Every structure is written in structure tokens, then in C-alpha cells.
A and B are shown apart, each in its own frame.
Chain A
């Protein structure tokens, strides 16, 4: 049973389109995250939610909008996609926001903008 699952695994789309990525965790965790990994493997946090409340909102274009309908789900909607949005997007979860609690990652969504 997959702990953190993301859909879709691959997303190929045209510049200017709007797309969503879904994430669900079945670990009973309170905290969820979205990360962006660029082509050089550099990983940067985008958003974090704790019990459906936004707690981290990095300097991300407002074309990116996260939504957490409940604490098991954190979706990412992207408007007006640009070439620079091509990356792998990872969802993660952790039991809470404490530093000793490891994060569990999904397998990533590979977004390619044509």
C-alpha cells in the first residue's frame, strides 16, 4: 500500500495551459509538503500545510496554488504554465512539524512543458 501517492506520474503539456497534481497520504500524518526538483536535482520547498493550514509559502509565483481539502490530501494547481515550470514535483508528509520527524516522499510528478 503506497504511503504517499501522487498523480499523475508524468505530465506533458503546452505552455499556457492550467494543470493540477494530486497528492494523498495514508500515514495519518498531520503535515504535508510540496517540493520542486530541478534538472540538476536541487530540491526546494514550495509549500507546507499542517492540519489543512498553510504554514510555509515560499517565494513561488502566484500561478501556483496549493489546496488541502483534508489533512490526507494536498493538491497543487498551476495556472498559465511556463517553460521554467518543467521539473519534478514531489509531495511529502510527516507526522507533525517537529524537527525529529522524517518526511515521507511520493515518487514525484515529472512535468514537461512543450
Chain B
């Protein structure tokens, strides 16, 4: 079946450091890919998405590129801020099942 694997957390960085959170997926067909972010005590919010190979999603300084050849959708940000501390979820949309499949989530803590 379809699945999403994220790098193990938690991740702790200093402010202005470079961030990469790895995400790889297994899917039949060509899924849409998403990154969601969950701030403490809140629900998930869509951060960015990409719907086909080589698409780059970007938002709030975060970027991720849909790489079909490596089945990856790694999240990057050049300079993180304390306010980026949250849990980040990679997800894919399974057309056949009409559902989102989430990765395990990666806790990011950014220290001043």
C-alpha cells in the first residue's frame, strides 16, 4: 500500500540555521504531495503542496520539490526562526482511496 516515511525527530536547531526534513514515499500512480505544520495546541495547517513531478511548492520561506525519480519530497528552509518550532507532517493524497496518508511527523525546535 501507499506510505510516507519521514526522518526521525526530534530536530533541534539554532535560529538562522538551515533546515532539511526528509520525506520519502511509496505509492502507486502519481500522488499529490503535501507538507502540513502543527503548532502547539493547534490543528494541522497546509504549508505547501506539489501535484506533479518536478513541481516545487513554497510558502513562508519553506520549499519542497516533488522528485519522482527518488520518490522524495524533502522540506527545506534556509534560515529558521524560533516561531518555526512545530511538528511537520509530510503527506500524500491517494487518489484510489480518496484519503491523505501522513508520515510520522517530525518535531522541530528552534532555539534563540
Task: Show the binding face of A for B, using Cβ within 8 Å.
Answer: 4, 40-45, 48, 55-56, 90, 92, 97, 99-100, 102-108
Contact = CB atoms under 8 A, between A and B. Distances in A.
Interface residues of B, number: 25
Contacts of A4: 43
A101 to B, nearest CB: 9
A99 B42 contact: no
A102 B43 contact: no
A108 B43 contact: yes
B34 interface: yes
Contacts of A92: 43-44
Given A56-B97, A99-B31, A102-B34, A43 B102 contact: yes
19 contacts: A41-B38, A41-B87, A42-B102, A42-B104, A43-B44, A45-B100, A48-B99, A56-B99, A90-B44, A97-B98, A99-B93, A99-B95, A102-B46, A102-B49, A103-B44, A103-B46, A107-B41, A108-B42, A108-B43
